[in-house]
Amino acid sequence: MRKPACHSLVPVVVILALTLLLGAVGVAAGQKSKALCPPRLPEDGLHQTQPDPKLPPEIRAFFGNWHGRWPSSDNPEGVPTILVVEEIVSPEKVMVVLGWGECPVCKAEAGCQRFWAKIGPVQGKQVLYFAYPNGKSYAVTLEGGRLVGGDGSTLLVLRRLGP
């Protein structure tokens, strides 16, 4: 069971700054089409806990804040997205927060979801597996400081936010 402990506000401040930046970018892009609003974060905030140093480094590397745009067939520009790996209890138990912005083109409202995910090996690489609110399963791998993957029909690329 997770304890609501005091955590550094630095990641939250960085995420909020990114949210404002993505909002400004979305508004500027809105001159050509409807603006995309920034991703939401949980109402109770983020609860990031550093992974146990005894976990393998290739597992701990997933910890942190990731951002980018999630493309779809309806919106190739992509929806602003934040993926926060809050806690890695074990490779089988990874707490993740996924936030996405509003997309008028694809008729999706902004939202966020906190859920358990898993990290496991596939063809020599560690893969983070999670289910998006639409019920599809997604998988991302670490490639050069980015999370890359998707559901097989879309390519998701998220960059680390911060160091």
**Residue the block writes with tokens 């508004």:** 27
Per-residue pLDDT of 6-49, as tens digits, reads: 233 334 333 443 443 444 343 333 333 334 456 777 777 788 99
CATH number of the structural domain spanning residue 139 = 2.40.128
Q: Among 53, 66, 50, which Cα is nearest to 15's?
A: 66
- The sign of the CA dihedral 100, 145, 118, 6 is negative
Our count of domains for the chain comes to 1
Per-residue pLDDT of 58-106, as tens digits, reads: 999 999 999 998 887 777 888 889 999 999 999 999 999 988 888 878 7
Q: Is residue 5 part of a domain?
A: no
pTM over 0.85: no
Q: Is residue 2 part of a domain?
A: no
Domain that includes residue 79, residue range = 10-160
**DSSP label of 137:** E
Q: Is residue 1 part of a domain?
A: no
**Cβ–Cβ contacts within 10 Å for residue 75, how many?**
18
Q: Is residue 81 part of a domain?
A: yes
Q: Is residue 4 part of a domain?
A: no
